[in-house]
Amino acid sequence: MDIRKKVGRNVKKFRKNAGWSQEDLAFECDLHRTYISGVERGVRNPTVVILDKIASSLGVPPAQLLD
């Protein structure tokens, strides 16, 4: 599986587990909602800095987004 799709699937899973919308997560990460959407769909290639922001907002280690 493409790593971008894997990351996107994990971001979506953790986001839904938190009970957040894409807009909620985007606000917490200080990113745009369409960027979060692109990450979740696997069309964005987020940097490690962005992955760290997302993981921190979701309360998970960044490595879990890559699992």
pTM beyond 0.75, yes or no: yes
Alpha-carbon distance of 23 to 48, in angstroms, equals: 21
Alpha-carbon distance of 38 to 59, in angstroms, equals: 21
Question: Per-residue pLDDT for 4 more than 80?
Answer: yes
The pLDDT mean for the chain works out to 96
* Predicted confidence (pLDDT) per residue in 7-65, tens digit: 999 999 999 999 999 999 999 999 999 999 999 999 999 999 999 999 999 999 999 99
Q: What is the pLDDT of residue 1?
A: 74
Tokens of 63: 């490595």
